[in-house]
Structure 1
Amino acid sequence: MSDVWVDEWLGTARFARYVDACSGDRARALQLYEWNVQAGQALMHDIAHFEVALRNAYDAAISARWRSRTHWLLDAESPAVVPIWRTKTVKGMKRGADVNTLTRKSVDSAIARCGSAKATSGKVIAEMTLGFWRQLTTNAMEKTVWVPYLHRAFPPGTQRSEVDRAIERVNALRNRIAHHEPISTQSGSVDAEQVHREMLALLRGIAPQVHEHLTATSTVAIVFARRP
């Protein structure tokens, strides 16, 4: 029986990646695709819990030391929106650049979606993406966000660079899953299991009880054990 419908459904180029991973066995390739979807669903469950814990831990860490009555995300002096100027070399020429441009646009867009002047901090926080929260631990945010605020959300001695690297990898994995890309190392992509372990390690530091709950409810290990 012809399985041309699989190529028509998934696209020849997309399915070919799974066929190659299965040494040309198209039946096994389809099984691998189905497993990839199941693995993505299991990972997204855990990433969703991690993201909510992360954003609330960040909000608590900043809010506890924010001196204005206006919430830090809605304040004009927020470290997430004020210009942060750095010198960059572009084609051999030094130029000043505002490295906070993307975060400012993200915050402004979220506020607009939440009703502009009527926006509440809770709604705006829920609108911010994982990519936004990751930006708060980049090197550019070391002095304005990490040192005065965010390092307090983690155990003493936690390195900003390690946190940033781990969250960047989690965000990249999340985006791969959202775009239905392969996550199996056997298909030549990201080491999802390693990223998952790094994510759990971060979660243990910022929210131990959430970590305990997540490890009890996660199905990632079960799904990965069933990899074709």
Structure 2
Amino acid sequence: MNWNDLEKHFSPARLGRYRAERGGDVARAATDYSSNVLLSEAMVPLLNVLEIALRNGIHARLSRLYGRTDWWESWVGDPAFRWQNKEVVNAKAKLARRHEAQTPDKVLAELTFGFWSSLFNTQFQTALWKDLRLVFTRCPKPQRQRHNISAALNQIRDLRNRVFHHEPLLWLTPTLLDQHAVGVTVINWIDPQLGQWLSIHDRLPSTWTGWVAT
């Protein structure tokens, strides 16, 4: 497919960044766009493993803390959890539209990565951190501070959004490879065996090396 066809389908605005980065060389810009698609694909295993392990770890800790598997119901009416309560309502609404049961497992699956990362915000230092820190049992104690966990999760959240909104990944600062490494670190903080399992499926490092070599 030639450059004009790519612009027709993907828009000049979307492809302009690639063209500008290559000084107007549309052949190299087209290669970069293809590479970006492959890098987005290669990020999925890490994002999948991290999000699911994170939410299940949080679910286990908060189920124990509140003594119920629908622990979010304990927040209803609490202004400290106003935003989180809205997210739960939205999750339930999605299930209702699909005529699915609003079981705890179903609600969990509908909640966004932004919901999970928000639980490590400053305002929950007293209410949640003592329990949520136990999600990251393999994080070295000097690093196992709420602000460190929060910063890492927010970085990964932003990257996740960029991946799933099909934005450029090639020229990020820190680089995509460095941000991927943050995700791997967080997974290893949860369970190093999970990090080893991910490495079998994770093609991001090799895909990145292939693009850098072009």
Question: 1:164/1:7 Cα in 2 relative to 1: closer, same or farther (>3 Å)?
Answer: same
CA distance in 2, matches of 1:105, 1:137: 17
Q: For 1:105, which of 58, 80, 86 is the aligned residue?
A: 86
Match of 1:164 in 2: 150
The equivalent of 2:48 in structure 1 is: 48
1:156-195 residue pairs with structure 2 within 5 A? 157=141, 158-185=144-171, 191-195=175-179
Over the aligned positions, Cα root-mean-square deviation in angstroms equals 2.2
Structure 1 residues 24 and 65, CA gap change in structure 2 (3 angstroms): same
Please state if 1:200 is matched with 2:184.
Answer: yes
Structure 1 stretches lacking a partner, 5+ long:
85-99
Distance 1:26 1:61, change over 3 A: same
What is the letter of the counterpart of residue 193 of structure 1? L
TM-score normalised per structure 1: 0.83
Matches of 2:160 and 2:77, distance apart in 1: 25
Q: Please name the residue that 1:124 is paired with.
A: 107
Whose helix proportion is higher, 1 or 2? 2
- Please tell me the residue identity of whatever aligns with 1:173: L
Read off the aligned partner of 1:152 and give its amino acid letter: L
Corresponding residue for residue 10 of structure 1 = 10
Aligned equivalents of 1:179, 1:2: Cα separation in 2: 24
Q: Deviations over 1:93-135 (max 9, x none)?
A: xxxxxxx332110011212333499521111101111111010
Alignment counterpart, residue 133 of structure 1, candidates 83, 98, 116? 116
Partner of 1:63: 63
1:173 Cα deviation after fit: 0.9
Which of 1 and 2 has greater Rg?
A: 1
CA 1:66–1:18 in 2, change beyond 3 Å: closer, same or farther? Answer: same
Deviation at 1:81, TM superposition (A): 6.5
**1:215–1:159 distance in 2 versus 1, CA, 3 Å:** same
CA contact (8 A) 2:69 2:104 kept: no
For 2:154, give the aligned amino acid: E
Q: Within 2, Cα distance between the matches of 1:211 and 1:82?
A: 36
Q: Which residue of 2 aligns with 1:211?
A: 195
Aligned mates of 2:177, 2:204 — CA distance in 1: 8
Taking a change above 3 Å as real, the CA distance of residues 18 and 71 of structure 1, as seen in their structure-2 partners, is same
For the pair 1:151 / 2:150, whether they are aligned, the reply is: no
| Separation in 2, partners of 1:49, 1:102 | 25
